[in-house]
Amino acid sequence: MINWLKEKLNPKYKFNEKEQLILDIVTNLCEQSDTDIKMAPISGRYFLVNKRLEYWLRIGDDGITITNHKFTYSNVSPQEFQNIVIKVVENSIEKNRDEFETAVFQNEVELLENIIGNIKNK
């Protein structure tokens, strides 16, 4: 009952065909390990660059631009769709940073263990 009421008051955004394709492109590019994701903190724009696949994306509140070495596609969608796409990119950044942080802290633990070993052996 509560979920039904939530759905009626705040319906889930329904993607059109182009939006679904754009979301799939962004999601799949974010999953590629060689995609470089950058953020411009002042403007709030995100940039996805995959040199191997030769795709460059610019994502912001005002729309999405996808380009390769031959073509450029620009799309302006409702703010709600832009927020969904930006959330996908932000989640990817967060996941990558979590993996990086885990590796860094693992190295710190190894460093501390080496220090203890050196102290005990001298």
Q: Could you state, in order of their start, the residue ranges of all structural domains in the chain?
A: 2-121
Q: For the chain, give the percent of residues with pLDDT over 70.
A: 95
pLDDT in tens, 1-31: 677 666 667 788 899 999 999 999 999 999 9
pLDDT in tens, 58-74: 999 889 999 998 999 99
Q: Are 36 and 92 in contact (CB under 8 A)?
A: no
pLDDT value, residue 99: 84
Q: Compute CA distances 115 → 10, 101, 102, 104, 112, whole Å.
A: 56, 21, 20, 17, 5
